[in-house]
């Protein structure tokens, strides 16, 4: 591994090779000819090979020196380009960034914010996945993660912000309520049979209900006649007049506003799971991560119901 002294020695050697003399190289590097000579001697001693032939008029590269010069020149050029690229990246977000988010929430709420950001920063190359399964953000190298809920303890290599907490309400289509009536209590809700969120093992997720205190909540299983493992699938079912479902306001607010859905049992509306925005600590200083995190937070936090 190159030390700082070794790297300086390489830079001196390249300068001497291009200048053709110690004096000219010393002037370019603002060093004494003695310092230049000692640096070359240390480099040749370390490599155990002669790089330069000294003549009375000028220095000439040996065959080994020619080969070594080409390699060193490429290395120094790549380092210069890397430094320039890092400088640019400190100003303008660019490059590939991995983002993972829940399927429905990500498509409806997050993706529009990403589109706006990328339209303003066209050097960005987002790699987006929409998944509802658990992902290991650190192990999978996901720069930015959005999750409804999340682990009890977040990994040490992850930072996060709370975007908000879901508001869950019961709703149905007007046509369904006209045909089957509007429930006025939780017991009547059981009689209707709900459109529930189904698990792959054949069971269903319990529903959220208010607790005795404002910040409390309870989970209870409600009888259902349809189970589907996707929130947009539940939405499609109730829009088709097939039942009542408990859904987050971010998913149904447009349908409520335009009259396609009606809220029922408003006294049973309750807080659901928190919505978290997480990112890798090791990547947070990169503008493509830092600025996108800020844009997502500022764009989404106000919209969480």
Which one, of 271, 155, 162, 146, lies nearest residue 210 by Cα? 271
The mean pLDDT of the chain is 88
The pLDDT value given to residue 283: 87
Nearest to 278 by CA among 134, 162, 165: 162
Domain co-membership, 267 together with 127: yes
Give the CATH number of the domain where residue 77 resides: 1.10.10.10
Does residue 232 share a domain with residue 128? Answer: yes
Residue 274: Cβ within 10 Å count: 16
C-beta of residue 93 within 8 angstroms of C-beta of residue 144:
no
Residues 205 and 249 in one domain: yes
**51 & 198 share domain:** no
- Beta-carbon contacts of 38 under 8 Å, excluding residues fewer than 6 positions away, are none
Separation of alpha carbons 135 and 269, rounded Å: 30
Is residue 1 over pLDDT 60? no
Rounded mean pLDDT, 68-87: 80
pLDDT at residue 158, as a whole number: 93
Three-state SS for 82-102 is HHHHHHHHCCCCCEEEEEEEC
> How much of the chain, in percent, has pLDDT values that exceed 70?
91
pLDDT of 234-254, one tens digit each?
Answer: 999 999 999 999 999 999 999
Give the pLDDT score at 291. 93
> What is the share, in percent, of the chain residues with pLDDT greater than 90?
56
Same domain, 279 and 266: yes
Mean pLDDT of 194-207: 92
Residues 19 and 102 in one domain: no
Same-domain check for residues 28 and 67? yes
Query: How would you classify the pairing of strands 144-148 and 245-248?
Result: unpaired
Given 67, 89, 111, which residue is the final one in a domain?
89
The parent domain of residue 69 ranges over 4-89
Whether the pLDDT of residue 214 is over 60: the answer is: no
Q: Tell which wins on pLDDT, 89 or 135.
A: 135
Q: What is the pTM of this model?
A: 0.66
pLDDT of residue 261: 97
Judged against a pLDDT cut of 90, whether residue 150 lies above it is answered with no
Confidence of residue 133 (pLDDT cuts 50, 70, 90): confident
In terms of domains, do 103 and 223 share one? yes
180 pLDDT above the threshold of 90: yes
Distance CA 300, CA 112 (A): 10
Q: What are the two backbone dihedrals, phi and then psi, of residue 30, each rounded to the nearest 5 degrees? A: 60, 45
pLDDT at 21 over 80: yes
Q: Which of 89, 123, 144 is the last residue in one of the domains?
A: 89
More confident residue, 189 or 81: 189
Q: Which of 37-41, 76-80, 272-276 has the lowest mean pLDDT?
A: 76-80
Number of domains in the chain: 2
The answer on 157 and 256 residing in a single domain is yes
Residue 174's pLDDT band, with cuts at 50, 70 and 90, is very high
pLDDT above 90: residue 181: yes
Last residue within a domain, chosen from 74, 89, 104:
89
């Amino acid at each position: 591994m190159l030390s700082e002294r070794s790297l300086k020695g390489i830079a001196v050697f390249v300068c001497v090779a291009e200048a053709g003399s110690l004096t000219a190289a010393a002037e370019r590097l603002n060093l004494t000819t003695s310092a230049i000579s000692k640096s070359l001697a240390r480099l040749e001693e370390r490599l155990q090979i002669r790089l330069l032939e000294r003549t009375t008029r000028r220095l000439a590269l040996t065959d080994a020196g020619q080969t070594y010069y080409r390699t060193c020149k490429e290395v120094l050029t790549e380092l210069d380009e890397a430094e320039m690229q890092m400088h640019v990246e400190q100003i303008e977000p660019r490059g590939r960034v991995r983002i993972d988010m829940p399927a429905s929430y990500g498509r409806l709420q997050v993706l529009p914010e990403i589109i706006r950001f990328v339209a303003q920063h066209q050097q960005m190359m987002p790699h987006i996945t929409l998944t509802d399964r658990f992902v290991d953000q650190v192990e999978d190298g996901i720069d930015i993660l959005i999750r409804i809920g999340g682990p009890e303890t977040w990994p040490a290599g992850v930072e996060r912000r709370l975007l908000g907490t879901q508001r869950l309400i019961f709703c149905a289509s007007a046509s369904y309520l006209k045909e089957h009536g509007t429930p006025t209590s939780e017991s009547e809700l059981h009689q209707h049979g709900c459109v529930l969120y189904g698990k792959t093992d054949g069971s269903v997720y319990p529903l959220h209900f208010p607790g005795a205190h404002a910040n409390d909540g309870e989970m209870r299983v409600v009888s259902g006649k349809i189970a589907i493992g996707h929130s947009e699938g539940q939405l499609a079912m109730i829009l088709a007049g097939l039942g009542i479902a408990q859904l987050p306001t971010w998913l149904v607010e447009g349908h409520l506003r335009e009259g396609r859905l009606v809220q029922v049992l408003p006294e049973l509306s309750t807080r659901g799971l928190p919505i978290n925005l997480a990112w890798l600590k090791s990547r947070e200083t990169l503008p493509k991560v830092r600025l996108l995190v800020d844009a997502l937070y500022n764009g989404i936090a106000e919209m969480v119901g």
